[in-house]
Structure 1
Amino acid sequence: MRKKIVSRLFFFIILFICPPLVYGQQLQLIDSILINAPVSASIDRLNQIYIADKRGNLSQYKNTHLVQIFSPQQTGNITLIEAWNPLKIFIFYADFQEYLFLDRFLSASQRYQAPELSRFSGMMTLSNDNNLWIVDYINFGLKKYDINFGDYTINTPFDLILNPDKYEITFIREYQNLVFISDKNSGILVFDNLGNYLKKIQVKGVNHFSFTGDELYYISGNDVLIKVNIYSDKRSTLSLPQDALFAFLYDNNKLALISEKALNTYSIKEN
Structure 2
Amino acid sequence: MRYLLYIFLIISMTGISQEIIDVTPIDTSELKVDHIVAIDNFETFYYLKDNIIYKEDKKGVSINYSNYQLGEITTANAFNPLKVNLFYQDFNSVIILDNRLAEIFKVDFNTVQPYKNVTHISTGFDNTLWIFNVDFQQLELYDYKTNTTRFSAVPVQSLVLDLESDYNFCWLLTENYLYQYNYFGSMISKIENTGFTEISKSNGHLILKKEDRLYFKHKKKEEIHPLNLPKLLINQFLLTNETLYIYDLEKLRTYQLKIN
Q: TM-score range by the shorter chain?
A: 0.7 to 0.9
Note if 1:146 corresponds to 2:143. yes
Q: 1:129-144, aligned counterparts within 5 Å?
A: 129-144=126-141
Segments ≥4 residues shifted beyond 6 Å: none
Contact residue 97 and residue 121 of structure 1 kept, 8 A: yes
Unaligned runs of 5+ in 2: none
Deviations 1:149-197 (A, max 9, x none): 3222212231xxx32xxx32232232362211111x1132112222222
Matching residue's letter, 1:98: S
Note if 1:234 corresponds to 2:223. yes
Matching residue's letter, 1:198: I
The alpha-carbon distance between structure 1 residues 66 and 29, as it changes in their structure 2 partners (threshold 3 A), is: farther
Matching residue's letter, 2:30: S
Give the root-mean-square deviation of aligned CA atoms: 3.2
Distance in 1 (alpha carbons) for counterparts of 2:48 and 2:197:
15
Structure 1 partner of 2:203? 213
Structure 1 partner of 2:9? 11
User: How far did 1:113 drift?
Assistant: 0.4
TM-score by length of 2: 0.80
Distance in 2 (alpha carbons) for counterparts of 1:130 and 1:13:
42
Q: 1:172-191, aligned counterparts within 5 Å?
A: 172-175=163-166, 177-183=168-174, 185-191=175-181
Q: Identity rate of aligned residues, in percent? A: 16
The alpha-carbon distance between structure 1 residues 147 and 12, as it changes in their structure 2 partners (threshold 3 A), is: closer
Matching residue's letter, 1:91: L
Unaligned runs of 5+ in 1: none
The alpha-carbon distance between structure 1 residues 76 and 179, as it changes in their structure 2 partners (threshold 3 A), is: same
Structure 1 partner of 2:99? 104
User: How far did 1:66 drift?
Assistant: 7.2
Number of aligned residue pairs: 253
Distance in 2 (alpha carbons) for counterparts of 1:6 and 1:212:
37
Q: 1:40-119, aligned counterparts within 5 Å?
A: 41-44=37-40, 46-53=42-49, 55-62=50-57, 67-74=62-69, 76-115=71-110, 116=112, 118-119=115-116
TM-score by length of 1: 0.78
User: How far did 1:207 drift?
Assistant: 4.2
Structure 2 partner of 1:125? 122
